[in-house]
Amino acid sequence: MNLSEINHSLVRIACYIAVLIVLCVFEILRPYREPSLSRVKRWMDNLGITLVNNILLNLALVPLVSASLAYAGKARSGLFYIFEFHFLLKLLLTVIIMDFLLYIWHLLNHVVPFFWRFHRVHHSDLNMDVSTATRFHFGELAISALIKASLILFLGIDLVGLLAFDVLVLATAQFQHSSLRVSEGFERWYWLLFVPPSMHRIHHSVIIRERDSNYGTILSIWDRILGTMIKNVDQNKIRIGVGAYPDFIRLRFLSLLLMPATRKIK
Ligand SMILES: [Zn+2]
């Protein structure tokens, strides 16, 4: 691992822990919903998965992403090197384009059965809070990292752009998964451009029509433009999870690791 890889990983981890602590405190002080399951047990599983993923990613895939960054910079490969935008415009475009591609990737995770095998690990959480934001199967993250490495080469993304995007995605994902009581006025305003917890709560509903909507991570405009946004749902009636997995006892750490290889479910 070289110095830029270490710095990139450290910044991401530091931001992740800071946002985790702040949101966790607010979830206790101003909860949207009291948890129906033991928070300690769920957090052990969710943060256990997060830790294992981070170790594997840093060993196997961060060097690949860094190699793409280094190559793109050295060979001046990718669209941003052809058009030579102003630094700030390039940063803004990096975040907007990568967020749109993340929207497409998220949608594919729902409609392609092979990808859903991995993505259902994230959706199977029976309560939703800040710890759900990083409950992903390593298989899904590995495929994402391969796509990201290719996009760096194709678009010509640099370290600053990638770091800005990664930190924003992580922080917004933590916020939209949090079980935090947010004022209705703020949510109405925030929903115009971004993804508040209420919008993403619909995405975690056991009702498949609701689950297959609201795919956005940073911006809500992609769902609005492409007709995948669902808004008018009684938030208090949303049941979180995947209908085929109602038992918490079968959703512990090891079962989650094996889930992609088990039977096909909707
Ligand atoms: Zn999803």
* 172-208 per-position pLDDT tens digit: 999 999 999 999 899 999 999 999 999 999 999 999 9
| Total domains present in the chain | 1
Question: Does residue 169 fall inside a structural domain?
Answer: yes
Question: Does residue 54 fall inside a structural domain?
Answer: yes
Give me ligand 1 centre to Cα 77, in Å. Answer: 32
For residue range 95-121, list pLDDT tens digits in order: 999 999 999 999 999 999 999 999 999
Give me ligand 1 centre to Cα 59, in Å. Answer: 26
pTM for this predicted structure: 0.94
pLDDT band for position 209 (50/70/90)? very high
Dihedrals φ, ψ of 91, to 5°?
Answer: -65, -45
Q: Is 35 helix (H, G, I), strand (E, B) or coil?
A: coil
pLDDT band for position 234 (50/70/90)? very high
Nearest to 241 by CA among 87, 153, 84, 127: 127
Running DSSP on this structure, what letter comes out for residue 194? B
Question: Does residue 52 fall inside a structural domain?
Answer: yes
Give me ligand 1 centre to Cα 216, in Å. Answer: 9
- Give 45's contacts (C-beta < 8 A, 6+ positions apart): 135, 251, 252, 253, 256
pLDDT of 3 higher than 60: no
Give me ligand 1 centre to Cα 9, in Å. Answer: 25
Dihedrals φ, ψ of 205, to 5°?
Answer: -70, 150
Query: Domain limits at 93?
Result: 3-261
Question: Does residue 266 fall inside a structural domain?
Answer: no
pLDDT band for position 85 (50/70/90)? confident
For residue range 26-52, list pLDDT tens digits in order: 999 999 998 999 999 999 999 999 999
Question: Does residue 208 fall inside a structural domain?
Answer: yes
Q: How far is CA 71 from CA 5, 40, 66, 68, 93, in A?
A: 14, 43, 9, 5, 20
